[in-house]
């Protein structure tokens, strides 16, 4: 059973960089694309981007200038960096396995607040 | 960008009802569409992919249909566990619909 777990700071100051890691267990990371999705409190889902184990990436155009995704196959994890954050980046951030048809396994999510 | 519009935004129904949620794409997306169920405080759960393929372990009372720009998710007979928020997602640019909250009447 594939499991994903997000980790990182729960509080980030405005203008700084939000950094999260998603650790994959129960299945190979070298097999799929891996996505990040976020959900502001009380709102809908927004796809951030995805990364393949070879480093290929795709980004949401609305966030592309601020997002960097990477993967570390030696540690079975992939990462999200979102720069120049503002209060509007406050959200629950999810990682998920991307089959190319859908997001079939999700982490439980991590709430990241942007506040001074 | 492809825009996904779900309707209705809120749906009130009773246990045992048959309900349908629709999702419209701003461009043709063939059958590159998935449906998710999300309960409060939980991550979304995949229900259907490729518009009509039921994810393993998902009850058969859930079904999906459509192609091109018009899609639907149907629950044939609601159980108490089905009251949640449902999202569609297109798989060309990965946009989500705004969600449909299915609430108890």
Contacts of A45 in chain B (CB under 8 A): 36, 38, 44, 87, 89, 96, 99
Is pLDDT above 90 for A71?
yes
**Could you tell me how many CB contacts below 8 A there are between chain A and chain B?**
55
Task: Give the closest-approach CA distance of B102 to chain A in angstroms.
Answer: 14
Check residue A31 and give its pLDDT: 86
Q: What digits encode the pLDDT tens for the residues A1-25?
A: 999 999 999 999 999 999 999 999 9
Q: Is A64 on the interface with B (CB under 8 A)?
A: no
Check residue A58 and give its pLDDT: 95
Of B45, B50, B96, the CB nearest to A45: B96
Check residue B24 and give its pLDDT: 98
Surface of B (46-105) touching A: CB under 8 A:
46, 49-50, 53, 55, 87, 89, 91, 94-99
Check residue B68 and give its pLDDT: 97
CA distances from A54 to A28, A43, A73, A79, A116 (A): 13, 33, 9, 14, 36
Tokens read off for B4? 């996904």
Check residue B25 and give its pLDDT: 98
CB within 8 Å: A106 and B43: yes
* Residue of chain B whose Cα is closest to the Cα of A108: B43
Tokens read off for B6? 């779900």
List the helix and strand counts (H, then E) for chain A.
0, 11
Rounded Cα gap, residues A11 and A112, in angstroms = 6
Check residue B1 and give its pLDDT: 86
Surface of A (6-35) touching B: CB under 8 A:
35
Q: What digits encode the pLDDT tens for the residues B67-94?
A: 999 999 999 999 999 999 999 999 999 9
Q: 């009850």: which residue's tokens?
A: B59
Q: What digits encode the pLDDT tens for the residues B39-74?
A: 999 999 999 999 999 999 999 999 999 999 999 999
Is pLDDT above 90 for A77?
yes
Check residue A81 and give its pLDDT: 98
Tokens read off for A102? 């859908």
In this prediction, residues B92-105 reach a mean pLDDT of 96
**Cα dihedral angle (A82, A85, A88, A91), rounded to 10 degrees?**
50
Strand pairing of B10-13 and B100-104? parallel
Q: What digits encode the pLDDT tens for the residues A31-68?
A: 899 999 999 999 999 999 999 999 999 999 999 999 99
Check residue B70 and give its pLDDT: 98
């Amino acid at each position: 059973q594939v499991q994903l777990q997000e980790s990182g700071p729960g509080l980030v100051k405005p203008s700084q960089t939000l950094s999260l890691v998603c650790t994959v267990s129960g299945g190979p990371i070298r097999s799929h694309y891996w996505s990040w999705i976020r959900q502001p409190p009380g709102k809908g889902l927004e796809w951030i981007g995805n990364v393949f184990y070879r480093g290929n990436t795709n980004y949401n155009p609305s966030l592309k200038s601020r997002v960097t995704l990477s993967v570390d196959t030696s540690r079975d994890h992939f990462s999200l960096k979102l720069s120049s954050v503002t209060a509007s980046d406050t959200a629950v951030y999810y990682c998920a396995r991307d089959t190319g048809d859908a997001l079939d396994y999700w982490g439980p999510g991590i709430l990241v607040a942007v506040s001074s | 960008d492809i825009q996904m519009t779900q309707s209705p935004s809120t749906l009130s129904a009773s246990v045992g009802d048959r309900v349908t949620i629709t999702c419209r794409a701003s461009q043709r997306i063939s059958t590159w569409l998935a449906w998710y169920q999300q309960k409060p405080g939980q991550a979304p759960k995949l229900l259907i992919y490729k518009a009509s393929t039921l994810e393993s372990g998902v009850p058969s009372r859930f079904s999906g249909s459509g192609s091109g720009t018009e899609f639907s998710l149907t629950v044939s007979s609601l159980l108490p566990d089905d009251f949640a928020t449902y999202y569609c997602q297109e798989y060309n640019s990965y946009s989500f619909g705004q969600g449909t909250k299915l609430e108890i009447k």
